[in-house]
Structure 1
Amino acid sequence: MSWIDGRERWVYAALAYALLAISAITAAWQGAGAGVGAGPGSAWAAALLAGVPWPVAALVAAGWLAPVPWLYPRRDTHRTLVVAHYLLLMALAAALAATSLPFVLFVSAGYPLAIAMLPGRLVLAGVTLTALVNVTTQAGPGAGTTLLTVIAGVAVPLVVAGWYVSAEHDRRRRLVERLRAAMEENAELNARLLDQARRAGVLDERHRVAGEIHDTLAQDLVALIGQLSAADRAPHEDSRRRHLDRAAELARRGLSETRRSVRALRPGPLEDAELPDAIGHMARSWAEAAGVELRFEVTGTPVALAAEVEAALFRVAQEALANVAKHAGATRTALTLSYTDETVLLDVRDDGTGFDPQRPADGFGLDGMRQRARGVGGTLDVESEPGQGTTVAVAVPAIPDDERLD
């Protein structure tokens, strides 16, 4: 930082006092009335003093400069007072210069004071006024036409141009301030959105883990318990061994699916098979374990879908069949997977006891299936009545798997 920083008001006041002192010393040295302007441009200024000696006027000017250090830091809040002070100072300087030519040097103090003190739109007007005072106080007797030419051809355009430039500067300054405020507001909004996204991500991950546990580990544990109970009731060793082997297979599959769920991988059957084959294998395994007759059908031309779409369809089919085994008491079940140009449909129908879809359900089942369908832009509808069986219909967009298509 320069040594001037923070001392500007004293610097401008000292400069004006220095120019006044030099002008007064020069005027005293040349003698009173030396170099008095005689033209029409100086007559009006000389008339302001009305016979007052220039030393007295110089003292008045010195006193009038005293408020400069006080006005400088208040130039933005006391604009009218600052402008009035500047105009009267220029009038005093003009009167002094008209009385004694050396005071033209003091008139030059108007340049730095105009730049330092006046509002932005009036700076150029103040500079122009100072220049006019300098010119008019030094003009000769026949300079009337020249002065008018200077005023009309130079001074007025300069003032207008200064006003326009200052107005444009103010407009851009306000625009920058608004942009800065908007950027600060956007930064705050961004921070809130990021926090909301983080919270939503955490919530989505909780739902995903809950759904994966419900669709894999929980169902395998239910089936495992059923196999162990069947083994305990088996009348022959061969039958008992078959149930125990089935229980061991379910335990291994549950452990594998749990690990996959934690790592957010695709369902195991989809790792090595297309969606129709994976659902068909899962459905046949379910029918064998549940003892329910199952008809599985695929219509349309199967296409490779995005991984999240196939995972959602597989998990919904898995959960729907698990609900049939747990709640429906059905003897026959039909599962249909239909491919169309824009949509893939999954329907699971049973001839079980049915239920009232309007009644709130316990557990993660139906809500979990709906969340999976919505998660890939699809819908899930349930049609059921007590004693009339149940139909679960899922429709998801046929989003292709670009990687596998390539």
Structure 2
Amino acid sequence: MNTTASEPSYADFDDYRHNQRIVVIIRWFLLGGWAIVNHWAAPYDQSLLYVDLIGLVIVALNVRLHIKLRRGEPVGRATAIAMSLFDVIAITAGIAITNRFTNSFFIMYYPALVGLALVTGSRSMSMIFVTAVTGAYASISIFMAPGLVLDNADDRRLVTRIFVMYIVVLLANLIIRAERAKRAEAVEAERARASENLELVTASQEERLRAAEQRFRIRREIHDGLAQSLYGLSLNIESIAAQAESSGAVEVGERLAKLIPVARNALLETRHYMLDLSPMLSEQGDVRSALENLAAEFQNISDIEVDLNITNLNIDGEQVAGPGDAGEQISLQPEVATQICRIIQEALANVLRHSGASKVTVNMEHRPTGITVSIEDNGKGFDSANVSGGFGLGHIASRAEELGGKFEVITSDGAGTRILIELPPQPPQKEVTAK
């Protein structure tokens, strides 16, 4: 049973790191206890040399397994079984070579049997293993010299050791079965939560898709209906006004001429509503394309020339060069770029409504102190004391504040108007290009 990359390690039932940690700790304690009993608490017996060599091999293997666990590397079923089987074989060989029944090395059977029980998880398989091990140990103890000394109650000690081996295996088997059951419940609960989250995400995506489709239908209806009608109305008013003036109906021509900016403004507002119903930017955050389209559309509707300059902004991985290019680039986050586009959109609409300008210059520049956006026209301007009272500047100021920026209007009667937005440094992905 394998897990996906999104699932926790405990969901992998073929990874035995969790129970092998227990086996490694038990093995260390028993190895240490055996070494103390046979090499420190009692005189050294030359016959223990072979057992010592086997013990060193077990120590080396346990060190390797311990390091593997400390590194967080997975431990497969084959590795866990092989380690426990080697323990059993080495212990049995050591007992058979040396003092047989009187050899205290038999205590190493316990971690080996626990390891096998924790890996197999099957009660019947665990019983087969422990029966084979106890059978081999009993045969060595009974049939190989010095054998059992009945006067010393060796038979009862043998039965007790075998009984303890069975108890250890049964307890380990119960523990691993309970632990695996809890893990299975946890995995199932985790997958249920993941499935529920996926359903919520899918439902949210479907809802957004339906909303986008609805906006697209409304936008298409506005484009094919209202926008086309307003465009035709604007052209007809211009044509009729020109004809009236040429035919001598000056007063009628002047009145019609006053309706031309009204019709253009209505068309521009309609186009803005259409933009509100669709994403201002593509998924890649193409600021340049959005602003170029905005400027071209404004110029086409209003007959006001637009000079657009973008400096030191990284658009789709390409540097947009400009005057004073310092070589440093910045990639705007889509949310910030969208707000900036909306600010420029609203400022251009104000130019058409109020300025009477023939040209407007839009500058957008990245500086070490942040991003500067300015919209400057050559129109009639107005009294700066009335800035807070109208001219549609409230929305621009509000958007600038949302970005943590500053908003300023520089104007006077007959001197045009300059709107200046200064934004703090953004958290983009920066790149440095060669000059």
Larger of the two Rg values belongs to structure: 1
TM-score scaled by length of structure 1: 0.39
TM-score scaled by length of structure 2: 0.37
| Structure with the larger RCO, 1 or 2 (CA within 8 Å, 6+ apart) | 1
